[in-house]
């Protein structure tokens, strides 16, 4: 049975796909990594099952990501700062999460020989004109360049 980790799992993506994965018999455990304990609490009230494990943590924390990814088969990397105005006012924070956090996830996946990594990106990465688009475009390039020589199957999904 496979185990899934969703970084930023309390966001819109995690909520949207969780029901499908809960009903899929191929997956024995779904780990939801998020730094938002309130959203984790609300999700745990909505999805009452032992199949989900909530992990409090941040993709910026390399050691937390390393320990969280161990034993997982599939990683959906959805954690990001996505609000354009916030990113414009705080570009250093966008870099820490969207670029450095992505690099932490990538390196942990390589170290732990994760079978599949999916990066959730944005259409704003195509022709980036703002901080959010720029940081997500760099995150995409980091991922695509890192995995040229590894056996991990990678995907970048823009929406």
**Active site (annotated) includes residue 3:** no
CB atoms within 10 A of CB 153: 12
Task: Please answer whether residues 99 and 105 qualify as being in contact, where contact means their C-beta atoms are separated by less than 8 angstroms.
Answer: no
**66: which residues sit within 8 A by CB, 6+ positions away?**
108, 111, 112
Structural tokens at position 7: 């970084």
Chain centroid to CA 129 = 23
Q: Which residue among 29, 48, 124, 146 is the active-site one?
A: 124
Q: Looking at the annotation, which residues are catalytic?
A: 124
């Amino acid at each position: 049975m496979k185990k899934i980790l969703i970084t930023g799992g309390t966001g819109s993506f995690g909520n949207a796909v969780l029901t499908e994965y809960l009903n899929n018999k191929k997956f024995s455990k779904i780990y939801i990594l998020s730094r938002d304990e309130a959203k984790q609490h609300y999700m745990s009230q909505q999805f009452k099952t032992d199949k989900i494990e909530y992990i409090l943590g941040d993709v910026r924390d390399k050691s937390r990501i390393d320990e969280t990814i161990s034993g997982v088969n599939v990683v959906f990397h959805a954690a990001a700062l996505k609000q354009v105005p916030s990113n414009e006012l705080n570009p250093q924070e966008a870099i820490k999460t969207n670029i450095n956090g992505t690099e932490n996830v990538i390196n942990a996946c390589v170290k732990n020989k994760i079978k599949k990594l999916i990066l959730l990106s944005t259409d704003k990465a195509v022709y980036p004109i703002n901080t959010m688009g720029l940081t997500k475009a760099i995150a995409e390039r980091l991922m695509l360049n890192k995995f040229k020589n590894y056996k991990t199957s990678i995907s970048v999904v823009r929406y």
